[in-house]
A and B are shown apart, each in its own frame.
Chain A
Amino acid sequence: MLLVKNLHASVNGKEILHGIDLHVRAGEVHAIMGPNGSGKSTLAQVLAGREGYQVTQGSVTYLDHDLLAMPPEARAREGVFLAFQYPVEIPGVSIALFLKTSLNAIRRERGLPEVDAMDFLGLVRERMKRLGMDEAFLTRAVNQGFSGGEKKRNEVLQLAVLEPLLAILDETDSGLDIDALKTVADGVNAMRGPERAIVVVTHYQRLLDYIVPDYVHVLSQGRIVKSGGPELARELELHGYGWVEAKNGARQVA
């Protein structure tokens, strides 16, 4: 589904990603772990098409499309979803309006009829219930005055409503207490399926206790330095990132 080849990207002329290779197939859950500044969020932003991130080398293929050639809205309509680490506040725009507009944009692309207000509310209420969210949420302006936990839930709600094919979760666990973490993880797990791939970007192994990945990749200084199964995450938890970095350094020297 997603094939990242030798991806180099820079921000303000400074190269952050020094050649990433990643292959994600439908039905798989990949975790990308790494210390602060390793380039995790940059990778997520590049995949979503954030302006200001220049791809200097390499390619990203998504369902036979050249993903990098597509504007962000086209990527979203083709099924790429990024759950933001820091979702932005949009004053005055209610979640209901925002989500309905987004859903219909995506449905149009897929050749599906647009949903009207009634059907939309029915759908979104059902998803909210599943996520244990209060309906009053819908009338609030997008992310405005939300707590950290509410922002993350809002991201997961959008994931549940928009049903993307490729979901990238950028530090969706940060700032969540254990109960919120479980709810969010349940929401994500409910989305797992043979059609869909999920990429979980996280600093901590904690989230991976709840969303168990098929593959774990360790990102360090803009490169994937180690890949493995879910056990890799637990090893990291035991030894810290220094362990992988040191090993990797040694290998590079050798």
Chain B
Amino acid sequence: MNVMEITHSDELERVPTGLAGHDVPWVIRARQQAFARFSAQGFPTRRDEEWKYTDVSVLTRRASLAPDDIPPDPSSEAALHAWSLAQEGTHLMVFVNGHFSEELSAMGELPEGVHLGSLAQRLEDGDELLRPYFEGEEHTVFGALNNAFATDGAVISLPPNTVVDGPIYLLFIASGHGVAIYPRNIVLAGAGARATIIEHYMGTLDSHNFTDAVTELNLGAAADIRHYKLLQEGPAAVHIAGIHADQQADSRFASHSYALGGHLGRNDITSRLLGPHCHCTMNGLYLLDDKQHMDHHTRIDHLAPDGTSREAYRGILDGASSGVFNGKVIVHPGAVRTDADQSNHNLLLSRQAEVDTKPQLEIFADDVKCTHGATVGQLDDDALFYLCSRGIDANLAKSMLMYGFANDIIEKIENPTLRNRIEGLVLDRLPQGENLSL
């Protein structure tokens, strides 16, 4: 254990009084044990295969890892309206610097039996339901850190066969300077339940905050959950997150990840297809510029027969940005008739930009259909000529091709309002993007 870690350990001794559940014995113990697991491993280095292309050493230079208790900035309310993707019928929960803000939230009316509430409150109450989530082994070392410091987040529980029509929208705003934020979301979807959940991370321009978020989703038989993650943190922010789903038979889980902002980002997105006939979708788009670095690590575990998975990630890299895609599909023994497809395509637009992609298949069953493909390339010259030959300016033609490249992912968003909003965000990032809508 190095000096820094000892300091942080001391921090933990001090900090729990400010953390949710600080007088619930199991919560305290779980947090301490999680912190011990974090300390034992420390931050990963590039020698770790899973962190080969992403350097998080910037975190070791932070003065403190402990979560801050900064009251919401009054200006965030105004900003909220500019940022919010809320649409009619949205169930909105707003978190400012990691803490639920009841005033800014509008949960709306929910079907009977559906619970949507603050995790902090549940921890304060010592809700035993959450216990296994805090006492289990985490997916990554950042999961352990999150277990130790989790401040707040959403707990969503859907009774069997309930359908929530409007999206459940979790908006996380980082406005404080250099704060550490540990959001934790838990989704329990009963058999046959359906919902759309949006996790949206926004940051102000100057906030070089560190966010370490974890979202866990438990899908009962035939549940259908669509999860959208939008990363629009400020240009100095470090954002590391895990999204982990467990799927029972016949369930459908879709994860859509849009990475548009932040300085250093990493999403670990995993799903385990535990029962037969599950379907898992993982789509993602990263648009990077300047010195942004974005790393997507995905993993789909096919553990039962007749599962299908479809994964499509695309990246457009400009400036001195770097993008990483590491997608693993594992077909375990007995997961026969699995049908898995994975692709990762990248446009590399600048001399300083870099792409590292690692699409991986691990297959332990013979009656399967698995494919993957990855490309790194540029805009198609033939397509550019075709557009120019129709009178379109060369720069606009380039933007149009970038848009088309991204649109293959955006089109997969089922909710039309959300699709339009996200399309708008992507167009904002493209040169002359304003000329690219009908």
- A159 to B375 CA separation, bound complex (whole angstroms): 34
- A50 to B389 CA separation, bound complex (whole angstroms): 9
Chain B contacts of A75 at CB under 8 A?
A: 389
**Interface presence of A162 (CB below 8 A):** yes
Within 8 A of A (CB), among B378-401: 380-383, 385-394, 396-397, 400-401
- A49 to B381 CA separation, bound complex (whole angstroms): 13
- A116 to B90 CA separation, bound complex (whole angstroms): 31
Partner of B392, one of A51, A73, A91, A92: A73
**Interface presence of A123 (CB below 8 A):** no
**Interface presence of B264 (CB below 8 A):** no
- Contact A73–B405 (Cβ < 8 Å): no
- A105 to B404 CA separation, bound complex (whole angstroms): 19
- Contact A92–B411 (Cβ < 8 Å): yes
Partner of B408, one of A72, A91, A98: A91
Write the nearest CB–CB distance from B421 to chain A, whole angstroms: 18
Write the nearest CB–CB distance from B384 to chain A, whole angstroms: 9
- Contact B389–A48 (Cβ < 8 Å): yes
Write the nearest CB–CB distance from A137 to chain B, whole angstroms: 15
**Interface presence of B407 (CB below 8 A):** yes
Write the nearest CB–CB distance from B283 to chain A, whole angstroms: 13
- A98 to B384 CA separation, bound complex (whole angstroms): 12
- A93 to B397 CA separation, bound complex (whole angstroms): 11
Partner of A105, one of B382, B393, B411: B393
- A139 to B408 CA separation, bound complex (whole angstroms): 13
Q: Between A and B, how many residue pairs show CB distances below 8 Å?
A: 96
- A89 to B380 CA separation, bound complex (whole angstroms): 10
Given contacts A51-B381, A51-B385, contact A92 B391 (CB under 8 A): no
Partner of B404, one of A71, A81, A90, A158: A90
- Contact A72–B385 (Cβ < 8 Å): yes
Q: Which of B383, B394, B405 has the most CB of A within 10 A?
A: B383
Chain A contacts of B406 at CB under 8 A?
A: 92
- Contact B401–A90 (Cβ < 8 Å): yes
- A102 to B389 CA separation, bound complex (whole angstroms): 9
Partner of B389, one of A72, A91, A97, A142: A72
- What number of A residues sit within 8 Å (CB to CB) of B? 37
- Contact B403–A92 (Cβ < 8 Å): yes
- A105 to B399 CA separation, bound complex (whole angstroms): 15
Nearest CB to that of A138 among chain B residues? B438
- Contact A101–B408 (Cβ < 8 Å): no
- Contact B404–A73 (Cβ < 8 Å): no
Chain A contacts of B417 at CB under 8 A?
A: none
Interface 1/0s, chain B 100-139, versus A by CB < 8 A?
A: 0000000000000000000000000000000000000000
- Contact A73–B438 (Cβ < 8 Å): no
- What number of B residues sit within 8 Å (CB to CB) of A? 29
- Contact A91–B405 (Cβ < 8 Å): yes
**Interface presence of A152 (CB below 8 A):** no
Chain B contacts of A88 at CB under 8 A?
A: 380, 382-383, 385-386
**Interface presence of B87 (CB below 8 A):** no
- Contact A76–B400 (Cβ < 8 Å): no
Chain B contacts of A93 at CB under 8 A?
A: 400-401, 403-404, 407
**Interface presence of A96 (CB below 8 A):** yes
Given contacts A92-B407, A97-B400, contact A73 B394 (CB under 8 A): yes
- A128 to B63 CA separation, bound complex (whole angstroms): 65
Partner of A90, one of B383, B393, B394, B411: B383
Within 8 A of B (CB), among A66-92: 71-73, 75-77, 81-82, 84, 87-92
Chain B contacts of A106 at CB under 8 A?
A: 390-391
**Interface presence of A231 (CB below 8 A):** no
Within 8 A of A (CB), among B414-435: 435
**Interface presence of B436 (CB below 8 A):** yes
- A93 to B411 CA separation, bound complex (whole angstroms): 11
Partner of A92, one of B387, B393, B397, B408: B408
Write the nearest CB–CB distance from A136 to chain B, whole angstroms: 15
Chain A contacts of B403 at CB under 8 A?
A: 92-93
Nearest CB to that of B391 among chain A residues? A76
Write the nearest CB–CB distance from A91 to chain B, whole angstroms: 6
- Contact A87–B386 (Cβ < 8 Å): yes
Given contacts A88-B383, A90-B386, A92-B408, contact A109 B400 (CB under 8 A): no
Chain A contacts of B387 at CB under 8 A?
A: 90, 98, 102
- Contact A49–B404 (Cβ < 8 Å): no
- A16 to B407 CA separation, bound complex (whole angstroms): 39
Write the nearest CB–CB distance from A93 to chain B, whole angstroms: 4
**Interface presence of A24 (CB below 8 A):** no
- Contact A77–B391 (Cβ < 8 Å): yes
Given contacts A90-B383, A97-B436, contact A105 B392 (CB under 8 A): yes
- Contact A102–B382 (Cβ < 8 Å): no
Write the nearest CB–CB distance from B386 to chain A, whole angstroms: 5
Partner of A162, one of B388, B391, B393, B396: B391
Within 8 A of A (CB), among B147-185: none
Chain B contacts of A96 at CB under 8 A?
A: 438
- Contact A82–B383 (Cβ < 8 Å): no
**Interface presence of A117 (CB below 8 A):** yes
- Contact B389–A73 (Cβ < 8 Å): yes
Chain B contacts of A91 at CB under 8 A?
A: 404-405, 407-408
Write the nearest CB–CB distance from B264 to chain A, whole angstroms: 28
- Contact B389–A82 (Cβ < 8 Å): yes
Q: Which of A81, A82, A101, A158 has the most CB of B within 10 A?
A: A101
A selection of 13 A-B contacts at a CB cut-off of 8 Å is: A71-B394, A76-B389, A76-B391, A76-B392, A84-B389, A90-B380, A90-B401, A91-B408, A97-B438, A101-B435, A102-B390, A102-B392, A105-B390
The 4 closest A-B pairs by CB, nearest first: A92-B404, A92-B407, A76-B391, A93-B404
In addition to A88-B386, A162-B390, 4 A-B residue pairs with Cβ atoms within 8 Å of each other are A72-B389, A76-B391, A97-B437, A98-B400
